[in-house]
Homo-oligomer: A and B are copies of this chain.
Amino acid sequence: MDGEGNSNHIGGMNDLENEGFLDGKEIERYWSEISEKSMIMYKEPLLTKRRNTTSQIAIVGANVCSIESLDYEIVENELFKQDWRSRKKAQIFQYVVLKWALALLIGLGTGLVGFFNNIAVENIAGFKLLLTSDFMSKKKYFKAFAAYAGCNIGLAAAAAALCAFIAPAAAGSGIPEVKAYLNGIDAHSILAPSTLFVKIFGSILGVSAGFVVGKEGPMVHTGACIASLLGQGGSRKYHLTWSWLKYFKNDQDRRDLITCGAAAGVAAAFRAPVGGVLFALEEAASWWRSALLWRTFFTTAVVAIVLRTFIEYCWTGKCGLFGQGGLIMYDVSAATETYSGPDILAVLFLGVVGGIFGSLYNYLVDKVLRTYSIINEKGARFKILLVVTICILTTCCSFGLPWFSKCIPCPTDPAVTCSTESGNFKRFQCQSGYYNDLASLFLNTNDDAIRNLFSTSTRDEFRISSLFIFFAAIYCLGIITYGIAVPSGLFIPVILAGACYGRLVGRLFASISKLDTGLFALLGAASFLGGTMRMTVSLCVILLELTNDLLLLPLIMLVLLVSKTVADCFNKGVYDQIVKLKGLPYMEAHAEPYMKHLAARDVVSGPLVTFSGIEKVGNIMHALRTTGHNGFPVIDEPPFTDASELCGIVLRSHLLVLLKGKSFSRNQVHCGGEILRKYAALDFAKAGSGKGMKLEDLNIEEEEMEMYVDLHPITNASPYTVVETMSLAKAAILFRQLGLRHMCVVPKSQGRPPIVGILTRHDFMPEHILGLYPHLSPHK
């Protein structure tokens, strides 16, 4: 529970209900789960006139979790300052070396996982497809379908079971969760080791099962999980508590690592190191500094080198069915690159329509997700059932639709492997020397289907009708697949649908535009990506690194700009939308217009619980027990000072450690020196997510309740402050830019208490503000 924003779970529930997530039954279940906590919390009546009614729970993956804020602010208390001062050059050197070593390990780990993912998928799916086409070539059509469907359902059920029983947080793309984490929202399960495990294997099984999902989004989440695991500062459980690691026991360093991890994920997924850095910068991170750019770049360089080494190793045929593609996944550089006026018009048309399709995609994904979350709430069995249903649907589409396509004679080019069992041109029901174009798209891995669509100088490889059927099927399947309890990326479905759409447009415009249909497919993919994800530079670079055609850059930029602009007229980017839908309290980079009309004091909620510099243990215990606040202002009162003055802010986690150590005194006297000697900074280091000390771990005797404890050594004397009249818009931007958890509101006039309230993340949420001031219009 977080700062002031903890007050009312019931309100939170109503919020969810309004969002359309849950119906009556769920609410009852939630209520029974949460009421216990609430009982503790609301023993005392709330004293303030204003309460924060925003939710403290959110959906992570396919599960509802309680959420916290992260402490990205650098705490400057006496204890930590003493620690800094005492750090020797050698220790600073250790820290720097370790930072780079961790970046190296993240790169290595993510690169290895990315490569393993690829090999596993190509081998499992390859085996399945070989089996099917083997039966097909023997005209045993029913057996072929049974084998294909059986493999698919088995793989899908396995993926769903992993996800439902072990780590529901691993469902979905994971990019919204990583984005939320980097924005300062913590839920234990986002980056837990079990999530990592399920993300890797669930993704392999899911992609192999023939779902229209990608392994790219999950790779980003995987990279972040690996980074988080490395950034835990060792593990006491497994006796991995190397003293060097202690420097990383804080949220700022973990944030840096996880940013590197997200970049490494993209780099591994698309073999696009520069694209990875830009993705982390443009989409994932809420907070950036130039040193991070460099470290991220290093991490993705390591990923690129790892991938390159292994791919080179596999060229010798040692990796089973894996083998296609080097660092460039879909090389289109062979196509000629001149273009003229009509081409640009065709491309503009492509961008506009792509933008509309993209925003429609977002709209439909949103609707489907809301429906699915109702099903997913019903329990693990329903999750699995949903997955299997979608799997059967997908299987029927991909095996059934190719029957509608007629056989096409193989191209005469001897370089093309056609109508064999392993080539990209699938024979399906056709006789030797002919291929089925729809089967070449449907009965292939997603990567190979994209490669087919991007292939240049092959204008008539696919019939217009086949392209149309494939486009419609993939567009719809992509929408209904996202949200099931399987790790599922959004990139590949969007690229597939977009590439098919682009190729279709290319064929339709063949009379006026001389651009290659493969290039049209690439531009179509760009337009869909721009329309759904709304990234610009990072998508552009990722596409470049995927396709190795630098000369197409101006056209790709144009398409991305057009489709993003068009799509922005309708709704938000898909990740932003999912973040909002999941109820994650994401701080936007810009302030809402109505915030300009409010001041900081207008949204502060209470009651404000403050401590004296030397406070009675009983008071602290009472406050910790009766509130969920995470930060408490410390105020020195006369006679210790001339007037009451703001000393700083003390964190709940630090208080717990101090109380556990029982450095109490019988009288109200300074005993900071003793505390500084007794404790090391490491004692107060922030443990990994979900591992911190709890109030129940304390064991305070009755008589100790009457004793005093000196809070000065652990009080952060440099809290960020705003004057109460500061406009809320500016306060919100400040809060977000600095990645704060608590922001002190100080009075503007003499003679009042030195602090009038604390703002936290939840106080900036539109639901809270518009709840307090319903007359404000959210759009002006």
Contact = CB atoms under 8 A, between A and B. Distances in A.
Interface of A: 74, 76, 81, 84-85, 273-274, 277-278, 281-282, 288-291, 293-294, 297-298, 300-301, 304-305, 308, 312, 326-328, 333, 338, 536-537, 540-541, 544-545, 548, 550-551, 553-554, 557-558, 561, 564, 589-590, 596-597, 599, 641-648, 717-723, 725-727, 730, 734, 737-738, 744, 746, 748-754
Given A81-B596, A548-B550, A727-B717, A749 B754 contact: yes
Given A297-B536, A748-B754, A750-B754, A289 B589 contact: yes
Given A718-B727, A734-B738, A748 B554 contact: no
Counting from the closest, the 3 A-B pairs by CB-CB distance are: A645-B749, A301-B557, A643-B750
A527 B108 CA distance: 24
Given A282-B293, A297-B561, A749 B537 contact: no
Contacts of A300: 557
A643 B749 contact: yes
B719 A723 contact: yes
Contacts of A305: 554, 558
A263 to B, nearest CB: 11
A750 B752 contact: yes
22 contacts: A274-B541, A281-B281, A293-B537, A294-B536, A294-B537, A297-B536, A305-B558, A327-B550, A327-B553, A333-B333, A644-B749, A648-B725, A717-B725, A718-B725, A718-B727, A719-B723, A719-B726, A720-B726, A720-B734, A721-B726, A737-B737, A737-B738
A74 B730 contact: yes
A756 to B, nearest CB: 12
Given A277-B537, A644-B750, A328 B288 contact: no
Contacts of A304: 553-554, 557
Contacts of A274: 537, 540-541, 544, 553
B288 A749 contact: no
Given A289-B589, A717-B726, 6 more contacts: A81-B596, A274-B540, A297-B537, A301-B557, A304-B554, A718-B726
A294 B278 CA distance: 12
B288 A564 contact: no
Contacts of A589: 289-291
A567 to B, nearest CB: 13
A564 B304 CA distance: 19
A502 B381 CA distance: 63
